[in-house]
A = this chain, B = another copy of it.
Amino acid sequence: MQHADPIAAAYVERWNEATSSSTPGTCPIRHVLDKIGDKWSMLLVMTLASGPRRFNQLHREIPDISQKMLTQTLRDLQRDGLVARQVFDTKPPSVEYRLTTLGQSLIVPFGRLIEWANSSMPGIAAARSHFDAFS
């Protein structure tokens, strides 16, 4: 073990347990990571984090997503229980999306990662320019 940090060491151990106990293809962690890395999921989660939105309202706030991917991503999030969909039977019909409790519980751990990304950016940029210059 290389870490003075016991918290990191604990996470590594838990990771090893989790990944070794499941078959390579069906690892449940992978499914979560796929959503994180997926182009739109987390953007939608963080957008909905500040309150419920209607379909076209989301589309206006995120102009560069296609309707197809907006629909698809929302359905996947709903399927996983992170987002709730509520239909109001008005004319014309309106549909509201909001984070579930489960969805809200993702904000903090995800936020830690964003925090890391922001504070590590300078170091990454420096490493990258050094690498590109000398390799």
Decide if B32 touches A104 in the complex (CB within 8 Å): no
Interface band, chain A: 35 or more
Task: List B contacts of A112 (CB < 8 A).
Answer: 108-109, 112-113
Decide if A106 touches B111 in the complex (CB within 8 Å): no
Number of copies of this kind of chain in the complex: 2
What is the CA–CA distance of A49 and B1 in the complex, to the nearest angstrom?
Answer: 8
Decide if B113 touches A79 in the complex (CB within 8 Å): no
In the complex, per-residue mask of A1-17: 1 if CB is within 8 Å of any chain B CB, else 0: 11101011011101110
- Is A88 among interface residues, defined by CB-CB distance under 8 A? no
Closest to A131 in B: B79
Task: List B contacts of A80 (CB < 8 A).
Answer: 124, 127-128
Task: List B contacts of A102 (CB < 8 A).
Answer: 120, 123-124, 127
The residues of A with any CB-CB pair to B shorter than 8 Å are 1-3, 5, 7-8, 10-12, 14-16, 18-19, 24, 28-29, 32-38, 42-43, 46, 49-52, 64, 78-82, 98-99, 102, 104-118, 120-121, 123-124, 126-128, 130-132
A-B contact pairs, 13 of them (CB 8 A): A2-B49, A2-B104, A12-B111, A18-B114, A33-B117, A34-B37, A36-B36, A37-B38, A81-B123, A102-B123, A102-B127, A109-B112, A112-B113
